Amino acid sequence: MRESIKDKGRIEHILSTIRILLENKTRYTFEEMANDPIIFYGFVKHVKIIGEAVYMLTKEFRAAHPEVDWDIIEGMRHVLVHGYNKIKPKQLWDTIEYDIPELLPVMEQIYKEINSQSSL
């Protein structure tokens, strides 16, 4: 059973993981990431963490924040978990380069809203 009280913690995990991905993406080129399985699967793991946190959010929380395409993020998690042998480096890199940076300000705004509601 998913608990709404844990939604805040899951958003914190998402934000932390986004920041880790963005900080580390600048350390590697696409070629380095694609050709080094340790680096590649490190990035995979962090994208999975975001997807897992989204997967564990309550339905009510997700419904209250339709500005995020939760199903797409959850779908990526399913691909990374169940299709681990089919992950294409370019798709992973594009996700980190384009989708993750767009997600950051949205998650920051949601987190601010959560904090302002919990202080009432």
Tokens of 38: 């340790």
Tokens of 16: 């932390």
Which of the residues 10, 46, 65, 77 is marked catalytic? 77
CB 54 within 8 A of CB 70: yes
Q: Is 82 a catalytic residue?
A: yes
Burial of 116 (0-12, 13-18, 19+ CB in 10 A): exposed
Q: Is 77 a catalytic residue?
A: yes
Positions marked active-site: 77, 82
